[in-house]
Amino acid sequence: MDELLDAGPGTGFAETDEYLAALRERLTVPRDTDYMLLGENLPADAADARARMRAFVDAKVLPVINGYWERAEFPWELLPHLAATGLVGGVIKGHGAAGLSRLAAGLATAELARGDGSVNTFLGVQANLTMGTINLLGSQEQKDRWLPGMVRLEKVGAFALTEPRHGSDSAHLETTARREGDSWVINGAKRWIGNGSMAHLVVIWARDEADGEVKAFVMEREDPRDPKSLPAGFSARTIDGKVGKRAILQADLAFDNLRVPDANRLPEANSFRDTSRVLATTRGGASWEALGHGIACFEAAVAYTEIREQFGQPVANYQLVQATLASMLSELTAMQLLCFRTAELQEAGTWSGTMASIAKMHTSNKARTIAQQARDLLGGNGLLLDFHVARHLTDMEVVHTYEGTEFVQSLLIGRKVTGKSAF
Ligand SMILES: Cc1cc2nc3c(=O)[nH]c(=O)nc-3n(C[C@H](O)[C@H](O)[C@H](O)COP(=O)(O)OP(=O)(O)OC[C@H]3O[C@@H](n4cnc5c(N)ncnc54)[C@H](O)[C@@H]3O)c2cc1C
């Protein structure tokens, strides 16, 4: 049956293909949507970071990413080019890391997400979650040991917090760590861990059997692609069938008396409050990420509706389409304002967990809607990977869920507003 449907491939489709190529051609060209002029007088470092990430996205990511996404394969070929941007490590200073301002780091994140969510999540797991934890909670010796190789992307990191039974309530995690001489013996399971099956360094959050507090341990592997380098007691299994962010691999991890040397325990991670300090910073990154997805979808919708004609005119000429574009733009602009303010507050040291929740909740909610609206405005083509918006739409579902779902952000904000914890 399939053969019959494909009969005569390549004949008679020249006109169709030419027309579709013309529709697709302009969809990924940035329009620098910025109606509140936030990008005017950008500091040179922020403008430079954005330009460098944009060049990487346009030249290296966009031409190949749909194929990797469809095959659910990690694009290893991009790592040397990503390292060459000089932007890995974000705001971390020293160890060869970029040492960016918050604004520069945020703009670079939005720019990468404008291209692709999977690569952006890879970098977020590597730099913000894993390097960020080591930088915030590790000793000087540990930072010197691990961060330089991670900046060069020679060492891939993973951040293992979520468990099969504990997602939103990860504070209740059940993985245990028991001190035995110079080692810790870890038992338990983790789920959804980005880079988990391919990481050289895995930050494992586990509860100390002695005092019941949550602590962090770094498990090392020489070569994740060599099964012989698997530490005894560690197993990783890639999660199949994921319909968003398909080009980054998530894994189930299992620890069966895994031994980690005491030298690999992060000394400043002494309770779940320390985990929360890491998560408060990464939620800022998730907001810029949502902004990047929103920009990609809005700009694709404008470009497409300008050239797609129905009933004798470009569909952008119709009032209903313009109303949709106007609604998308007004939400996008509010997201931009929130993200720029996030960077200012972070730089000033007055950023709080509630602010992080407000920004994450608003931006992911709005970007999710913008992605749906763009998908609609592209008609049937909005369902095709070739037209990019479908990828952003499903990738935004992931942003909506990780770093705290919308409900969880509401509960955190509600507790602050009312003084009553509803969870
Ligand atoms: C693609 C992807 C990548 C990820 N990467 C990582 C990673 O690298 N490392 C890591 O540690 N984790 C990672 N995660 C895990 C992620 O952080 C969790 O999925 C997230 O915290 C939500 O947990 P859950 O999926 O178990 O959903 P659940 O917590 O089971 O939530 C299910 C539903 O219940 C709602 N809910 C939960 N509690 C309440 C409540 N009290 N009141 C009202 N509603 C509630 C939620 O909002 C949601 O709608 C990743 C997840 C995904 C999908």
CATH code: domain of residue 234: 2.40.110.10
pLDDT of residue 379: 98
Q: Using an 8 Å Cβ cutoff, are 218 and 134 in contact?
A: yes
Q: Do 38 and 106 reside in the same domain of the chain?
A: yes
Whether 55 maps to a domain, the answer reads yes
Whether 394 maps to a domain, the answer reads yes
Whether 118 maps to a domain, the answer reads yes
Q: Do 401 and 319 reside in the same domain of the chain?
A: yes
Angle at 246 between CA 128 and CA 340, to 5 degrees: 40
- Residue ending a domain, choose from 204, 229, 264: 264
Q: Residue 222: which residues within 8 A CB-CB, separation 6 or more?
A: 200, 229
Q: Do 102 and 186 reside in the same domain of the chain?
A: no
Mean pLDDT of 199-203: 97
CA of 53 to the centre of ligand 1 (A): 29
**pLDDT above 60: residue 3:** no
**CA 205 to ligand 1: nearest atom:** 11
pLDDT of residue 357: 95
**pLDDT above 90: residue 216:** yes
- With a 6 Å cutoff on the Cβ, whether 161 touches ligand 1 is yes
pLDDT of residue 226: 83
Strand 157-160 and strand 201-208: the pairing is: parallel
- With a 6 Å cutoff on the Cβ, whether 159 touches ligand 1 is yes
CATH code for the domain of 126: 1.10.540.10
Q: Do 65 and 146 reside in the same domain of the chain?
A: yes
- With a 6 Å cutoff on the Cβ, whether 199 touches ligand 1 is no
Whether 13 maps to a domain, the answer reads no
Cα 400 to Cα 286: distance, rounded to the nearest angstrom: 9
Q: Do 278 and 351 reside in the same domain of the chain?
A: yes
**CA 125 to ligand 1: nearest atom:** 8
Quote the percentage of the chain above a pLDDT of 70: 98
Mean pLDDT of 352-376: 97
**pLDDT above 60: residue 383:** yes
Whether 8 maps to a domain, the answer reads no
Whether 14 maps to a domain, the answer reads no
**pLDDT above 90: residue 2:** no
Q: Do 298 and 401 reside in the same domain of the chain?
A: yes
Whether 136 maps to a domain, the answer reads yes
pTM for the model: 0.96
Mean pLDDT of 145-163: 97
Helix axes 319-348, 353-377, angle to 10 degrees: 160
Q: Do 234 and 345 reside in the same domain of the chain?
A: no
The pLDDT-based confidence of 149 (bands split at 50, 70, 90) is very high
CA of 408 to the centre of ligand 1 (A): 9
Residue 422 or 225, more confident: 422
Q: pLDDT, tens digit, for every residue of 5-43? A: 666 666 789 999 999 999 998 888 889 999 999 999 999
CA of 168 to the centre of ligand 1 (A): 5
Q: Do 107 and 164 reside in the same domain of the chain?
A: no
- With a 6 Å cutoff on the Cβ, whether 410 touches ligand 1 is no
Q: Do 394 and 276 reside in the same domain of the chain?
A: yes
Domain that holds residue 140: 27-151
Q: Do 404 and 279 reside in the same domain of the chain?
A: yes
CATH code for the domain of 288: 1.20.140.10
Q: pLDDT, tens digit, for every residue of 396-420? A: 999 999 999 999 999 999 999 999 9
Whether 58 maps to a domain, the answer reads yes
CA of 399 to the centre of ligand 1 (A): 10
- With a 6 Å cutoff on the Cβ, whether 193 touches ligand 1 is yes
Mean pLDDT of 204-211: 98
Cα 49 to Cα 65: distance, rounded to the nearest angstrom: 21
pLDDT of residue 125: 97
CA of 404 to the centre of ligand 1 (A): 6
- With a 6 Å cutoff on the Cβ, whether 72 touches ligand 1 is no
pLDDT of residue 138: 98
Q: Using an 8 Å Cβ cutoff, are 304 and 391 in contact?
A: no
- Residue ending a domain, choose from 222, 242, 264: 264
CA of 162 to the centre of ligand 1 (A): 8
Q: Using an 8 Å Cβ cutoff, are 79 and 122 in contact?
A: no
- With a 6 Å cutoff on the Cβ, whether 99 touches ligand 1 is no
Q: Do 220 and 313 reside in the same domain of the chain?
A: no
pLDDT of residue 305: 97
**pLDDT above 60: residue 345:** yes
What amino acid is encoded at 338 in this protein?
Answer: L
Tokens of 103: 């604004």
Mean pLDDT of 243-265: 98
- Residue ending a domain, choose from 232, 264, 296: 264
At 314, phi and psi to the nearest 5? -60, 140
Q: pLDDT, tens digit, for every residue of 106-137? A: 999 999 999 999 999 999 999 999 999 999 99
Number of domains in the chain: 3
Cα 415 to Cα 409: distance, rounded to the nearest angstrom: 10
Q: Do 36 and 130 reside in the same domain of the chain?
A: yes
Tokens of 34: 């910025």
